[in-house]
A and B are shown apart, each in its own frame.
Chain A
Amino acid sequence: MSQVQTQEPQPDFIIRSRAALEDNHLQEALEKAGSGFVYKRQAAIERIGNFEQLRDQARQVRVRALKHLDLYLLHFEKKVQNAGGQVHWAETPEQMREIVIGLCQAQNAKTATKGKSMVGEEVDLNEALEAAGVEPQETDLGEYVLQLAHERPSHIVAPALHKTKAQVQSLFRANHALGERALDEVADIVNEARAVIRDRFLQADVGITGANMLIAETGTAAIVTNEGNGDLTATLPRTHIITTSIDKIVPTWEDASAILRVLGRSATGQDITTYTSFFTGARSERDKDGPEQFHIVLLDNRRSELLGSEYEEMLHCIRCGACMNHCPVYQAVGGHSYNSVYPGPMGAVLTPLLRHEEQDNQLPNASTFCGRCESVCPVRIPLPGLMRKLRDREQREAKHASVSTLAVKLFCRLSRHPVLYRRLTHFSLKLVSMIRGRKSRFRTLPLMSGWSRHRDFPAPDNGSFQSQWQQRHKGTNHD
């Protein structure tokens, strides 16, 4: 099964968004998911008296973890080794793929069950495994649906959020040769997936999962899930491989608690997910079960360059998804419009920083700057501020100044010369009133088709703000 998208996505956020707005299935799915996350989170934080303090605490943990990141990584590595595991370091996605494939081949693995891993998605692990003759088997229900559909996740917590129940039904009917059966209820779908995937857990040669946190104190990887697939993937095969990134470190178990207390509440409105599991090394002779081999592959992919930069705070992210659940842009156009495994506000910041592709420059502009993302982020990442910095960077670096850059530059100059500004606005208004004749609205505006395509622009009358102000104050005494 391949995860390659059937069509190459459009290289342009605006074009992709327009298509998303016209996609009825997507709009139906977004509608259904929409406010659920928001209400559940709100209810969860209202059940306790001090959520704001918990956020502060979580943020402090992230700050401390990054401040001595190298020390914590080294301590983590040593503890993993002491517990019979191995740590591998990958600078690039390519290196991570090579390492994981090497580990699978050393085991002669034919199949690998997979728990959800955004880092695995970031490095396109599934395609690489397939090409190397190892069949990746997604086990998280959302990821499994996407594997059948040959699609990418559209949300970091609910990967198949863009799929409707009807779409999942047809995927199951097309892919499971199970004859006539009812699949109308969500329960039918979940039961069928459970039955189909159960044997795979028991037979897989390798299990590959992500990690939500790495606890430096003891070399422990923590994973939070609700379905139980992550644990079956981590526990049953003889080899467990974790694909994760260097920024997931927290110093101690107490620090892990500080993150756990905000993670579930922010993500799904749960005070804790059904399963929180802590894996330390390989099975020892005292353990009743567990894998004989344990490997953690740590991805950098430019994260270390963000440390100490003006974007460092992005490394605080604990991947809860709250920012996208509360983002009007994400809610309108869905995750695929961002053409990245990291969508929404966090993706609009992270994607340009990690991927450095030309098309990513549009992402920091995919925001209304309403500020809801920052106000719900459990570790208080100033997402709009970071997007603004990226916009500035893009404009500084733009090889050819765009029309909008020129316009802004022109405005900056003009605004510093009041007389010229007044003359010019006066002139333009005259010009405008000549063009419009007796019209009260413009249907098209030169250089502003993005605005006028979907709405008319009201034609100004009675002169500029400044000239009107002067007119009015001629006759009034201002005190």
Chain B
Amino acid sequence: MTDSRSRILDRIGRSTGGHYDADTIEATFQALSHQQTGAPVQPEMGLTDPVATFTAEAGRNGARVAELESMTQVTQWLRDNVRDATTDANFHLSPAIIGRSLDWSGLNTTAETPAAAGSWGVVQAHTGIAETGTVMSLSDECPSGLLFLVERLVVVIARRDIVGYQEEAWQRLKARGALPRTVNWITGPSRTADIEQQIQIGAHGPREADYLLIDEQ
């Protein structure tokens, strides 16, 4: 299909006037993307306090936000909330959470593929985006599948990791170096409106989304 490739590019080139060889692509791309038109246009929504806006927007999009003080309170919060749940809970932890040596007594943690009802995922977000109440997770920190296979997803997020707008999240991402295979943005629980346009929460992904805000040094 190399011929298709060159024929498609030829036809495009007739309109763009571009003739690029492999060596100049990078330099031309850099030059062009630097002459971008001005500053980004961001939604006007009175965003002055990222944590406050994050909390409000996440709530509007169906996530529950809990205000905690530190990571050590996370497992107690889980114990308190499991008591209200109807099924036995199995906890699937992301590597970052496992690395924090928290007190898991009374909570059933497992490394199996989340399947049956009662599976909870506990992960830590890389960044929170206030603009839309969104959390960002990276597949070199947390397996992407975990975010989707559990019934209830608990995302821990440090207040200092919450930024205002999307552009700031890109800056943090680019500053890390090579991109992970998957960057996930999650805003609330999974949903569908495919049956008569009625919004139904809990499609293929989690039915519930909790964001726990903590302080970290």
Contact = CB atoms under 8 A, between A and B. Distances in A.
Interface of A: 29, 32-33, 36-37, 47-51, 53-54, 56-57, 60, 64, 67-75, 78, 83, 88-91, 95, 99, 139-142, 145, 158-161, 163-165, 168, 186-187, 189-191, 194, 197-198, 201-202, 216-218, 220, 226-229, 231-232, 234-236, 246, 251-254, 257-258, 260-261, 268, 270-284, 286-290, 294, 298, 300, 304-305, 307-308, 312
Nearest to B141: A288
Given A33-B196, A190-B200, A288-B143, A73 B170 contact: no
Contacts of A277: 144, 182-185
Interface string B198-216: 1010111110000000000
Interface stretch (B6-14, B68-76, B78-86, B103-111): B6-14
A379 to B, nearest CB: 14
Contact of B203 (A50, A141, A294, A312): A141
A312 B14 CA distance: 13
A288 B93 CA distance: 12
Given A226-B203, A288-B141, 5 more contacts: A36-B197, A57-B40, A74-B20, A274-B205, A300-B11
Contact of A271 (B41, B132, B192, B203): B132
Contacts of B20: 70-71, 74
Given A48-B44, A253-B170, A32 B196 contact: yes
B140 A158 contact: no
Contact of B198 (A29, A186, A232): A186
B44 A288 contact: no
A268 B193 contact: yes
B99 interface: no
A314 to B, nearest CB: 14
Contacts of A139: 204
A132 B36 CA distance: 46
Interface in B17-44: 18, 20, 22, 25-26, 28-29, 32-33, 36-37, 40-44
Interface centre among B113, B166, B193 (most CB of A within 10 A): B193
A278 to B, nearest CB: 4
Interface residues of B, number: 81
A258 B170 CA distance: 13
Contacts of A290: 139, 144, 181-182
B134 to A, nearest CB: 6
Interface of B: 1, 4-5, 7-9, 11-16, 18, 20, 22, 25-26, 28-29, 32-33, 36-37, 40-45, 57, 61, 95, 113, 115, 131-132, 134, 139-149, 165-167, 170, 173-174, 178-198, 200, 202-206
Contact of B8 (A191, A201, A246, A251): A246
A47 B13 CA distance: 42
**Which 3 pairs between the two chains have the least Cβ-Cβ distance?**
A228-B205, A308-B15, A49-B44
B197 A232 contact: no
Contacts of B145: 232, 235-236, 289
A190 B202 contact: yes
Contacts of A159: 194
B134 A186 contact: no
B3 to A, nearest CB: 9
Given A186-B196, A275-B190, A281 B170 contact: no
Contact of B197 (A49, A158, A228, A252): A158
Given A83-B179, A197-B204, A274 B190 contact: yes
Given A99-B1, A194-B203, A228-B203, A272 B190 contact: no
Contacts of A307: 11-12, 14-16
B18 A198 contact: no
